[in-house]
Amino acid sequence: MPILRIAAALSVAVAFSTSAVAQGDTTCARDLLVAQSMQRQALDQLEQADGDEAKNCRVWRRHVETMRRVASVYGRCLSGSERSERLAQVQGSDREFSAAIKARCKG
């Protein structure tokens, strides 16, 4: 897996702008912070994955679920080009790891 490409995409997503706060939605501001934390954890888990196929599959499945949750927050709380860019990042990661799961994991 191109971990460096994923790391770069996620690091870009870490720098949250004030778009949610500008909307006056404190729920979105909180949800964006939680999403940021979830992304960091997902990246940490990917980096800790070793050559064990079963462990990798578990980590990849969790990563896909996390990216879907984060995408939901971005879709609800962001707008404009920031929304488009961040959704593209997490949805691209979702697709990439879903394909890896389909190709390499059982069940």
Query: Taking all residues of the chain, what is their mean pLDDT, rounded to a whole number?
Result: 83
Q: What is the pLDDT of residues 5-39, one digit of tens each?
A: 555 455 544 444 444 444 557 899 999 999 989 98
Global pTM? 0.75
Amino acid occupying residue 45 = Q
Mean per-residue pLDDT, 78-86: 94
Which tokens is 105 given? 């994991």
Q: Answer yes or no: are the C-beta atoms of 35 and 51 closer than 8 Å.
A: no
pLDDT > 70 in the chain, percent: 77
Give 83's contacts (C-beta < 8 A, 6+ positions apart): 19, 74, 75
Tell me, letter by letter, the H, E, C secondary structure of the chain. Answer: CCHHHHHHHHHHHHCCCCHHHHCCCHHHHHHHHHHHHHHHHHHHHHHHCCCCHHHHHHHHHHHHHHHHHHHHHHHHHCCHHHHHHHHHHHHHHHHHHHHHHHHHCCC
Structure tokens at 10: 């996620």
Instruction: Kindly report, residue by residue over 55-69, the tens digit of the pLDDT.
Output: 999 999 999 999 999
What per-residue confidence (pLDDT) applies to 18?
A: 43
Number of domains in the chain: 1
Asked if the model's pLDDT at residue 4 lies above 60, the reply is no
The residue among 15, 59, 11 whose CA lies nearest residue 33 is 15
What is the domain extent for residue 61? Answer: 3-104
Segment 38-67 shows an average pLDDT of 91
